[in-house]
Amino acid sequence: MLTKSRIDFKGVVFDFDNTLVDTKKTILEAYTKVFSEMAEKFNVDKERLISEADAFQQEKIRELAESKASYNHADWIPLIAEKGSIKLNEKEKEYYKQVFYSYVIENQKFSSETEELLKELKKDGKKLALLSERDSISGLKAERINKVPFHKYFDVVVIAGETIPFSKAKDGAKPFIETARLLGLSTKDIIMVGDRRDLDIQNAKESGMKAVLFTGYNNSQEKCNYEPDLVISDISEFGRIL
């Protein structure tokens, strides 16, 4: 495990979703907004529809996690509506998708300590990178990243599958090695901080990076051939290894 007396690093690579921002919570809130509005329009039970949305989402994520397949939460809205006996036409499908995406973009959740940590790292002379998978819609991840106030602290922003051709889900260590190259550092001088054991910890370790698992927003249970060097539940805890 990493300790303050042993750690020596020149750069940090952060994941975005469920690491720097609580995407899981924002998506649940976006679903609540969509299905509350839908329930009122179609005169169906709001609580049941929201409950169906949460259960459907969790089940789909469990199914897709093993295959590391990408998914679009907004695409599930018409399927959840059908479970509530609501048949949406194409115009309504598009409208509710836009309600969903607008909420997600404008209501990203993050700890008040996140910016302070990044500021401290920069002050300490560390190079910082953000490495995230592309969203299902081209350009959406970049728009979301640019909305958070702390994006200015990153020397490099890498969107796997969009700004680089490699995907964290499909190309293993390649996105991590490429991010290190863009930072101008060796992977052995970098720490990766992410929430997924299979995509963040495994790939970072295989690239030669040290890896910190963040569990504050997502309790990762995916299979991984490596143990993280450190597990933290609050982003401010990362400061203890500086």
* 129: β partners: 13, 156
Higher pLDDT, 49 or 8: 49
Whether 24 has a pLDDT exceeding 70, the answer reads: yes
What pLDDT digit, counting tens, does each position of 138-165 carry? 999 999 999 999 999 999 999 999 999 9
Whether 104 has a pLDDT exceeding 50, the answer reads: yes
Residue 91 sits at φ, ψ, to 5 deg, of -65, -40
Percent pLDDT > 70 in the chain is 93
Q: How many helices and strands (H and E) does the chain possess?
A: 8, 6
Whether 174 has a pLDDT exceeding 50, the answer reads: yes
Helix (H, G, I), strand (E, B) or coil at 194: strand
User: What is the distance in angstroms between the CA of the first residue and the CA of the last residue of the chain?
Assistant: 14
Which DSSP category does 88 fall into?
Answer: -
Rounded Cα–Cα distance for residues 4 and 242 (Å) = 6
pLDDT in the model for residue 5: 41
pTM: predicted TM-score of the whole model, two decimal places: 0.91
Rounded Cα–Cα distance for residues 125 and 13 (Å) = 14
